[in-house]
């Protein structure tokens, strides 16, 4: 997307669609919106007194300007109540507006970044610019799909109107950050939105290799034979009923060769999860093509890291397979041995994510990762607990958890900690093996975390359960329906924080 910055008067900017904002419960329109309203002979304020424009967050109203100002249309978008305004709401509102425009076939939008928000609130110019540009780039995203007639419409250009006194360096920094964050988030969304037959472990490995070559990362793809030699019985076990063989993908970025510290990102790459022999119910099973969203988030973050080249070492480890049904299935009651040497009793074949991540986490440690963050669409239970807005996180190390929480807050991604009390260890106690992979209904999302923690052992580790946040059924702010690309920006921000950037 082309981004142009101008200090022209808002009413003189020639564009297809000018986006202006309005807060709920305001007596009068302010700032830029006021200037546009005046030039349009008070049409916006008329709509407000008619209650057609209310300012509710994400409400959009399209006006046609009929030559009264240089732009063809004005799109009024609500920001919600002013006292509750946050930078995340601005990203969401602009995202909704940009998507609305894109769906109308509009390819160019303009909006003003007001000093007003910068002055009244605690965010700075860089953050404000970043949020609006991310809003446009993420909100107007659409997956091309496979129809004969390509219906994809997109915003090609975005014109940002700024005050002359705003610092150009800060504006440019905001644009760059947004561009990197949005491009990598869109990359992750593209991977997740692909149908399962076109996103197999092999194809995922190819995509990872492309990213690695493009960014000059070291890349290794372990195939079935390699996994057998290494004794990765957990990943092999889950993958054994599928015609598409499992793989382990490893990418290495060395931004700080002097240091032994390596940040390890481990992503769940189940390209389709049927549940295995304890098969899932038929309703919505197709959604399980998105069960590699953790892997996609890790790849998106790595791509952004390759672009920004932070002073930190980062490794991506992605176990990938299909959880299918065949003659050779894992069965409840089976015992398998993992790469760590620990044996695992299979209680539920649908608790497959933690199995492949067990080998992923152990392998990351084996390769020298000193801090581990895993990202996984791990449990339905996290959706019951936190819904679709918030990622559940768990840890064995407070310092790393605080870093991830801060990174998430700066990225506008909501996370909430799930407890990891010692008492929960009984969830993984097995009569026949070192651990078991399921203990029934209670605290399902915590069970998943506790199981993974047994493989992280004493390496600082944070687990992110994105089962609820990786996709959205309906358009929602900067997230159009489908894959959200969640966790890309939190992982990226975490890496930047460790690099001191």
Nearer to Mn ion, 29 or 375 (CB): 375
- Least Cα distance to 321 among 348, 362, 369, 357 occurs for 357
Q: Whats the size of the chain, residue-wise? A: 501
Answer whether 323's CB lies under 8 Å from 352's CB.
yes
Quickly count: other Cβ atoms within 10 Å of residue 245's Cβ. Answer: 18
Nearer to ligand BES, 21 or 240 (CB): 240
Nearer to Zn ion, 89 or 354 (CB): 354
Q: Among residues 179, 273, 345, 438, which is the contact residue for Zn ion, using CB under 5 A?
A: 273
Q: How far apart, in whole angstroms, are the C-alpha atoms of residue 160 and residue 79?
A: 18
Residue 353 touching Zn ion (CB under 5 A): yes
Which of 207, 289, 342, 354 is catalytic? The answer is 354
Minimum CB separation from Mn ion for residue 92, in Å?
31
- Is 280 known to be catalytic? yes
Nearer to ligand BES, 134 or 465 (CB): 465
Minimum CB separation from ligand BES for residue 448, in Å?
7
Nearer to ligand BES, 345 or 352 (CB): 352
Q: Which residue ranges make up the site for ligand BES (CB under 6 A)?
A: 273, 291, 348, 350-353, 377, 379-381, 438, 444, 467
Looking from the CA of 399 toward its CB, the CA atoms found within 13 Å total 6
Residue 239 touching Zn ion (CB under 5 A): no
Minimum CB separation from Zn ion for residue 425, in Å?
23
Q: Which among ligand BES, Zn ion, Mn ion, none contacts residue 181 (Cβ within 5 to 8 A by kind)?
A: none
Q: Which among Mn ion, ligand BES, Zn ion, none contacts residue 362 (Cβ within 5 to 8 A by kind)?
A: none
Q: In which region does residue 231 sit, left (phi positive, over 0), alpha (psi from -120 to 50) or beta (all else)?
A: left
Q: Which among ligand BES, Zn ion, Mn ion, none contacts residue 179 (Cβ within 5 to 8 A by kind)?
A: none
Residue 438 touching Zn ion (CB under 5 A): no
Task: Please return the burial class of 333, using the count of CB atoms within 10 Å of its CB with bins 0-12, 13-18 and 19+.
Answer: exposed
Q: Which among Zn ion, Mn ion, ligand BES, none contacts residue 16 (Cβ within 5 to 8 A by kind)?
A: none
Quickly count: other Cβ atoms within 10 Å of residue 146's Cβ. Answer: 9
Nearer to ligand BES, 63 or 270 (CB): 270
For residue 88, give Cα distances in angstroms to 91, 120, 131, 153: 5, 16, 7, 25
- Least Cα distance to 452 among 350, 368, 373, 382 occurs for 373
Residue 291 touching Zn ion (CB under 5 A): yes
Minimum CB separation from ligand BES for residue 33, in Å?
40
Query: What strand order describes the sheet that includes 435-436?
Result: 335-337, 343-345, 435-436
- DSSP H or E segment with residue 470: none
3-state secondary structure of 322: strand
Residue 264 touching Zn ion (CB under 5 A): no
Which of 30, 56, 224, 280 is catalytic? The answer is 280
Q: Which among Zn ion, ligand BES, Mn ion, none contacts residue 469 (Cβ within 5 to 8 A by kind)?
A: none
> 266: which strand partners?
317, 374
Residue 201 touching Zn ion (CB under 5 A): no
Minimum CB separation from Zn ion for residue 414, in Å?
22
Nearer to Zn ion, 264 or 353 (CB): 353
Minimum CB separation from ligand BES for residue 282, in Å?
14
Helix, strand and coil content of the chain, in percent to the nearest 5, comes to 40, 20, 40
Q: Which among Zn ion, Mn ion, ligand BES, none contacts residue 380 (Cβ within 5 to 8 A by kind)?
A: ligand BES
Sign of torsion over alpha carbons 32, 36, 41, 44: negative
Minimum CB separation from ligand BES for residue 236, in Å?
17
The alpha-helical segments, DSSP class H, found in 25-124 are: 31-39, 43-49, 87-103, 115-120
Structure tokens at 365: 């440690």
Q: Which residue ranges make up the site for Mn ion (CB under 5 A)?
A: 273, 350, 352
Catalytic residues: 280, 354
């Amino acid at each position: 997307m082309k981004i142009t910055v101008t200090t022209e008067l808002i009413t003189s900017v020639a564009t297809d669609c000018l986006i202006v904002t309005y807060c709920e419960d305001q007596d009068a329109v302010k700032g830029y919106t006021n200037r546009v309203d005046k030039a349009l002979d008070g049409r916006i304020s008329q709509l407000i007194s008619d209650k057609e424009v209310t300012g509710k967050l994400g409400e959009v109203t399209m006006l046609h300007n009929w030559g009264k100002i240089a732009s063809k249309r004005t799109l009024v978008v609500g920001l919600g109540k002013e006292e509750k305004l946050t930078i995340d709401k601005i990203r969401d509102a602009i995202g909704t507006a940009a998507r609305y425009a894109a769906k109308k076939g509009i390819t160019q939008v303009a909006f003003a970044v007001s000093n007003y928000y910068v002055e009244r609130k605690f965010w700075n110019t860089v953050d404000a610019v970043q949020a609006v540009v991310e809003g446009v780039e993420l909100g107007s995203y659409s997956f091309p799909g496979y129809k004969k007639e390509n219906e994809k419409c997109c915003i090609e250009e975005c014109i940002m109107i700024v005050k002359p006194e705003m610092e150009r360096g800060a504006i440019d920094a905001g644009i760059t950050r947004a561009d990197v964050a949005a491009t990598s988030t869109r990359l992750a969304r593209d991977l997740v939105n692909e149908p399962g037959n076109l996103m197999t472990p092999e194809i995922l490995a190819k995509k990872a290799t492309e990213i690695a070559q493009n960014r000059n990362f070291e890349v290794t793809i372990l195939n079935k034979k390699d996994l057998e030699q290494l004794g990765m019985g957990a990943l092999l076990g889950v993958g054994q009923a599928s015609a598409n063989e499992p793989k382990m993908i490893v990418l290495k970025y060395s931004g700080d060769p002097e240091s032994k510290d390596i940040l390890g990102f481990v992503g769940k790459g189940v390209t389709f999860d049927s549940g295995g022999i304890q098969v899932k119910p038929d309703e919505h099973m197709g959604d399980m093509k998105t069960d590699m969203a953790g892997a996609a988030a890790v790849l998106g973050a790595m791509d952004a890291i390759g672009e920004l080249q932070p002073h930190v070492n980062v490794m991506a480890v992605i176990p990938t397979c299909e959880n299918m049904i065949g003659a050779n299935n894992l069965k409840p009651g089976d015992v398998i041995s993992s790469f760590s040497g620990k044996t695992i009793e299979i209680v539920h074949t649908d608790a497959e994510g933690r199995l492949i991540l067990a080998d992923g986490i152990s392998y990351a440690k084996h390769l020298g990762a000193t801090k581990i963050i895993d990202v996984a669409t791990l449990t339905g239970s996290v959706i019951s607990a936190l819904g679709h807005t918030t990622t559940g996180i768990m840890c064995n190390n407070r310092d790393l958890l605080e870093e991830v929480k801060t990174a998430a807050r700066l990225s506008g991604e909501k996370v909430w900690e799930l407890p990891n009390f010692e008492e929960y260890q009984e969830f993984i106690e097995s009569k026949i093996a070192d651990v078991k992979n399921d203990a029934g209904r209670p605290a399902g999302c915590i069970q998943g975390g506790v199981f993974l923690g047994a493989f992280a052992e004493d390496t600082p580790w944070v687990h992110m359960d994105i089962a609820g946040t990786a996709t959205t059924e309906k358009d929602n702010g900067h997230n159009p329906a489908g894959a959200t690309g969640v966790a890309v920006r939190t992982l990226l921000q975490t890496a930047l924080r460790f690099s001191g950037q």
